[in-house]
């Protein structure tokens, strides 16, 4: 059965920023590379949580929006044409007697690889949705779980449900451009960053606590108004809205990662200084990697990717020399510039 599957040198599980940069470096080292990503799009947490926010802590890039950063990462990652498979969650890894791996996804597909680099972040990202049956019908209309384009909200009446950092951030970002911003939170105290909470409270944002959204009125595609209920008194009121943004956080589905056999600590995978896990041939990079003094920063993951790729290359061909290949020295880039 395994002979029918195309053999890859490296299969990267996770297409977030670190997985993408790792794919680039893997291609540069002439490894046949595949990325498997659960979401229908690349970019991981950057695309999912903060596409419109400004990233300022990646060397050489003073300021860039999450979306632009992701576009550039994808452009770089696809330089050497890796195979990219979207919308599939890796469920099991199996090491074969010949040392290669079979990677299985949630739809039963199998992928065959000499080495594996786990770039899964803390797991598959799943938004916590509004707990109202009719909510799903409005997702293609004016119910949003993330903000992808601020301009869409200019001059509009916005209702935001949530009380964490994201909800407060969006209230502050939208307040200067929207006609009106109302923030509804089911608790009385907020859990976000204090300075952002103060900024919101001192602005024109209409803050309603302790309320929650209970009914969405509309035509099944566009919400026209929202019924909110005081969680203590049960008193209800109706507010009109052009857009409802729900920021109730997210659930991270680590899936079966814990069952893949790699030694773990605090929900992440332990690696040595070659980024190898406790299973030879499986490496981990980015947020999922656990080692002393690990920082959950994109810039840190950009160092781990090349280390893992070089280690994977050595795993495949132990006689290879361990070297840091410089892109500036590569002839293949002369044609691409
Ligand atoms: C709101 C917010 C703001 C941040 N701001 C900054 C910042 O300004 N600067 C900075 O350096 N860092 C920032 N971070 C942290 C940064 O986003 C992470 O460190 C970075 O995204 C880690 O990249 P990664 O590729 O390791 O993981 P992720 O970005 O989490 O990507 C992992 C990918 O793997 C996929 N995946 C997981 N499990 C599976 C599976 N079983 N099968 C298939 N696919 C799977 C996931 O769907 C996801 O797309 C921020 C984080 C948040 C939440």
Q: How many Cβ atoms from other residues are within 10 Å of residue 108's Cβ? A: 8
Q: How far is the CA of 211 from the centre of ligand 1 (A)?
A: 31
pLDDT number for residue 257: 83
Ligand 1 pocket mutation pick from 11, 17, 44 by most atoms within 8 angstroms of CB: 44
pLDDT number for residue 335: 58
pLDDT number for residue 1: 46
Phi-psi label, residue 234: left if phi above 0, alpha if psi -120 to 50, beta otherwise: left
DSSP string for 52-75: TSEE--BTTBS-EEHHHHHHHHHH
pLDDT number for residue 217: 96
Q: First vs last Cα of the chain: how many Å apart?
A: 42
Q: Which atom of ligand 1 is nearest to the CA of 122?
A: 30
Ligand 1 pocket mutation pick from 45, 255, 303 by most atoms within 8 angstroms of CB: 45
- Domains within the chain, CATH numbers bracketed: 2-125+251-336 (3.50.50.60), 129-248 (3.50.50.60)
Q: How far is the CA of 188 from the centre of ligand 1 (A)?
A: 30
pLDDT number for residue 305: 98
pLDDT number for residue 287: 96
pLDDT number for residue 337: 54
Please list the pLDDT of the chain residue by residue as tens digits (337 residues).
Answer: 445 789 999 999 999 999 999 999 999 999 999 999 998 899 999 998 888 789 999 999 999 999 999 999 999 999 999 999 999 999 999 999 999 999 999 999 999 999 999 999 988 777 899 999 889 999 999 999 888 788 999 999 999 999 988 899 899 999 999 999 999 999 999 977 788 899 999 999 999 999 999 999 999 999 999 999 999 999 999 999 999 999 998 877 777 788 899 999 988 999 999 999 999 999 999 999 999 999 999 999 999 999 999 999 999 998 877 777 788 877 666 555 5
How far is residue 63 from each of residues 67, 73, 203, measured CA to CA in Å?
A: 12, 15, 26
Whether the CB of 118 sits within 6 Å of ligand 1: no
Please tell me whether residue 2 adopts helix, strand or coil conformation. helix
Whether the CB of 124 sits within 6 Å of ligand 1: yes
Does residue 132 contact residue 154 with C-beta atoms inside 8 Å? no
| Cα–Cα distance for residue pair 117/127, rounded to 1 Å | 25
pLDDT number for residue 327: 83
């Amino acid at each position: 059965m395994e002979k029918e599957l195309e053999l890859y040198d490296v299969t990267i599980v996770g297409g977030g920023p670190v997985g993408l940069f790792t794919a680039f470096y893997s291609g540069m080292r002439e490894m046949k590379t595949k990325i498997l990503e659960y979401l229908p799009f690349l970019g991981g947490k950057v695309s999912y949580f903060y596409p419109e926010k400004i990233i300022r802590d990646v060397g050489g890039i003073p300021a860039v929006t999450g979306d632009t950063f992701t576009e550039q990462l994808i452009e770089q990652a696809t330089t050497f044409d890796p195979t990219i498979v979207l919308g599939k969650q890796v469920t099991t890894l199996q090491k074969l007697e010949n040392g290669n791996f079979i990677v299985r996804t949630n739809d039963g597909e199998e992928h065959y690889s000499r080495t594996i680099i786990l770039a899964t972040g803390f797991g598959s990202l799943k938004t916590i949705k509004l707990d109202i049956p009719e909510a799903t019908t409005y997702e293609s209309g004016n119910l949003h779980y993330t903000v992808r384009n601020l301009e869409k909200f200019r001059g509009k009446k916005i209702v935001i449900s949530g009380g964490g950092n994201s909800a407060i951030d969006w209230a502050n970002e939208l307040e200067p451009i929207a006609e009106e911003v109302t923030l509804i939170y089911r608790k009385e105290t907020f859990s976000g960053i204090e300075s952002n909470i103060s900024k919101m409270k001192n602005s024109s944002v209409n803050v309603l606590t302790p309320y929650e959204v209970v009914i969405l009125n509309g035509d099944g595609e566009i919400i026209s108004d929202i019924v909110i209920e005081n969680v203590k008194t049960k008193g209800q009121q109706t507010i009109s809205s052009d857009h409802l943004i729900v920021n109730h956080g997210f659930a991270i589905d680590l899936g079966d990662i814990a069952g893949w056999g790699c030694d773990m600590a605090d929900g992440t995978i332990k690696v040595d200084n070659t980024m190898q896990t406790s299973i030879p041939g499986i490496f981990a990079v980015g947020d999922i990697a656990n080692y002393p003094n690990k920082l959950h920063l994109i810039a840190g993951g950009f160092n781990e990717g090349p280390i893992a790729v070089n280690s994977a290359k050595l795993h495949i061909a132990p006689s290879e020399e361990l070297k840091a290949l410089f892109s500036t020295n590569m002839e293949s880039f002369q044609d691409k510039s």
